[in-house]
Copies of this chain bind each other. A is one copy, B any other.
Amino acid sequence: MSLEAILSRLDSDQNDARNRLLEFLAIPSISTDPDYKAEVRRAAEWLRDALIDLGADAELRVTPGHPMVTGRTNGEGRPLLFYGHYDVQPVDPLELWHRDPFDPAIEDDVIRGRGAADDKGQLMTFIEALRAWKSERGTLPNITFLFEGEEESGSPSLVPFLKEHKSELTRDLALICDTGLYAKDRPGIVTQLRGLLGEEIVVRGASKDLHSGSFGGIAQNPIRVLARIVASLHDATGRVTIPGFYEGVPELTDELRAQWDALTFDGPGFLSGVGLSAPAGESDRTALEHIWSRPTAEVNGIRGGYAGKGFKTVLPAEAAAKISFRLVGNQDPLAIRDSFRAMVREMIPEDCTVEFHDHGAGPASHMDTSDPAFEAARQALGQEWPHEAAYIGAGGSIPVAGYFQSILGMDSMLIGFGRDNDQIHSPNEKYDLKSFHLGARSWARILDAIS
């Protein structure tokens, strides 16, 4: 049957497809919180069953953490690996959601719920494309599936799993659906990705919480120590101060700078959409450089003492911060981790100790776009969307693409249909119905073009 028949099938099947996604979104698969372990597994089982329902072989694979879901079609054509993740971010602050994050629903032209865009809705675009393909053609393309349940918690099991199952997972090319449209009607294929290093530091002082009236001033206060550390991570111009941090950070090539300039990115609009007006980072960089090609150090969380209602004159025994680094070019995550930890240790005064917790370390990656699949996919996307697709960078890190390169020797095509206003990692996450539907149609076109 023709590609047109598959696209028509996707059009007529939209309602059922939405209901399948709603069912998947209702499972609270928060991987970072051990309390949700059983729910994460339930989401894995749901996804396995969806693959089996397609006619693929599929199973749960044990890891030290949450299971992998793997599968394989018995189809013909170029062997492809499809990757997505079935786990989701935590939902706090819960009070800012206007509905239960795990009671998802269609609201006007969006699907609302945790995971709608990141990544359940996106991975389902691919599965729905295959479902329609199977209905019309009776067979499937040659796809191996890898779905992870720890993407939102640093992917601790991913590297060992890739190493252990290298031959099973190494295909011609990977397809990853965990990125966004470049703009409302213009899709993008991400060809360069920042890496991510996650660190947690816990500073400890006295053996117990103290009364700040009795011990204030004379006893070390871990919050003050931690604040000094956090405040020292950047200089007055916004540059990161960790020794060696900028080693391996490339300047943009003239060619790439010209391509990005042509995208006429709306930096002010990007900020004003979230209530901001002034770029806060390195003062001599454009907005797209900040997001796609410059490294960052950000504090994602801090805690210490009594921060609840009212006031408590406590001098706490410990304080902690979670800090993440976005890495570019050839920055070495492990060297930066070492340098960061050494810098922090230098700032720990007598009577305090520091403990580090590792939350993952993945390098940046760049794809070789000379593989004809890239241009074929770009053309296919241009047939589905009002504007032609662009080769772009990505701000968020997708370390798996780097691991596919370094462990499996395989490049990835990162194609996704999320939008900047999807509120991923925030309250009220949503996925546009248009993204969901045109996303599935896009995959049908791409698979038809490259498979």
Contacts and interface: CB of A to CB of B under 8 A. Distances in A.
Contact of A299 (B206, B294, B304): B304
Interface string A146-160: 000000111000000
A280 B228 CA distance: 15
Given A275-B206, A281-B217, A302 B319 contact: yes
Given A208-B423, A304-B299, A217 B200 contact: no
B299 A221 contact: yes
B309 A219 contact: no
A130 to B, nearest CB: 28
A275 B207 contact: yes
Give the size category of A's interface with B. Answer: 35 or more
A424 B211 contact: yes
A309 B396 CA distance: 21
A138 interface: no
Contact of A231 (B205, B216, B231, B298): B231
A300 B209 CA distance: 10
A26 interface: no
Nearest to A280: B220
Given A306-B322, A312-B301, A224 B230 contact: yes
Interface in A278-323: 278-282, 287, 290-291, 294, 296, 298-316, 319-322
A206 B96 CA distance: 14
Contact of A298 (B153, B212, B226, B321): B212
A1 interface: no
Contacts of A304: 299, 301-302
Interface in A218-262: 218-221, 223-224, 226-228, 230-234, 238
Contact of A208 (B92, B210, B427): B427
Number of copies of this chain in the oligomer? 2
A215 interface: yes
A9 to B, nearest CB: 34
B301 A219 contact: no
B206 A274 contact: yes
A214 interface: yes
A392 to B, nearest CB: 13
A368 interface: no
A90 interface: yes
A346 interface: no
Contacts of A121: none
A424 B278 CA distance: 46
Name the 8 nearest CB pairs between A and B, nearest first. Answer: A32-B310, A213-B396, A207-B275, A303-B307, A301-B305, A217-B281, A227-B230, A217-B296
11 contacts: A32-B309, A33-B308, A93-B209, A208-B275, A216-B324, A219-B271, A221-B280, A227-B231, A301-B307, A301-B316, A303-B303
